[in-house]
């Protein structure tokens, strides 16, 4: 096993540019192969080191998010399953702030593109989405690339404590404005008067 890893490192060192480009493009291919983001980020840290691996992961995750945006804009009916998952988990009126989405991206079992869909609904334009996507991917890439190996060695109680801390942080950073459409407001008022 050590010999195979040494050969892999030699190939990466001798073909650094090709290996870097391949790793970044693998982030886009990851969604077709159903490989979790966390595994790719951890592999980036192991292959390229913490700093370079984080930069490559940020670039790859951002390209993956932009690719999702263009697919969603071109074929919105295909993403009905993700929309139904969003409505089932968060409800129809769930508006998350960019800070909340950033924290939710750190939770490994929340679907990456489900959060990209929430980000599309939050930002409303491509330029805002691209900026927010970059910002939400930076902590994800850094934490799982640099500290990913340590996270997998946590005890179950430590992992539960981390998840509870992230959920509390998400509640603190929630969007404090509720927007209600005119029809929804008066529909609720009519139902209240009847009862």
What are the tens digits of pLDDT across the range 29-87? 887 787 888 888 877 887 787 888 899 999 999 999 999 999 888 887 777 777 787 78
And the tokens for 6?
């040494």
pLDDT tens per residue across span 1-39: 567 666 766 766 777 788 888 889 998 888 778 788 888
Closest CA to 142 of 70, 71, 37, 65: 37
Helix axes 50-74, 112-123, angle to 10 degrees: 70
Q: What is the pTM of this model?
A: 0.70
* Helix spans in the chain (H): 2-14, 16-33, 37-48, 50-74, 80-90, 98-105, 112-123, 126-146, 148-151, 156-172, 182-194
Q: How many CB atoms lie within 10 A of CB 106?
A: 19
As a whole number of angstroms, the distance between CA 51 and CA 56 comes to 9
């Amino acid at each position: 096993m050590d010999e195979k890893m040494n050969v892999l490192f030699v190939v990466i060192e001798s073909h650094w540019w090709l290996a870097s480009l391949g790793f970044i493009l693998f982030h886009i291919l990851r969604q077709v192969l159903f490989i979790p983001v966390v595994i790719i980020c951890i592999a980036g840290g192991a292959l390229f080191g913490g700093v370079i691996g984080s930069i490559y992961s940020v670039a790859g995750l951002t390209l993956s998010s932009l690719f999702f945006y263009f697919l969603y804009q071109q074929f919105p009916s295909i993403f009905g399953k993700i929309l139904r998952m969003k409505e089932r988990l968060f409800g129809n009126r769930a508006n998350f702030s960019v800070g909340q989405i950033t924290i939710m991206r750190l939770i490994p079992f929340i679907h990456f593109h489900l959060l990209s869909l929430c980000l599309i609904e939050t930002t409303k334009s491509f330029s805002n989405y691209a900026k927010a996507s970059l910002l939400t991917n930076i902590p994800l890439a850094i934490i799982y690339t640099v500290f990913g190996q340590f996270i997998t060695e946590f005890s179950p109680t430590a992992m539960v404590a981390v998840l509870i801390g992230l959920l509390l942080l998400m509640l603190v950073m929630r969007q404090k404005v509720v927007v209600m459409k005119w029809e929804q407001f008066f529909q609720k008022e009519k139902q209240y008067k009847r009862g």
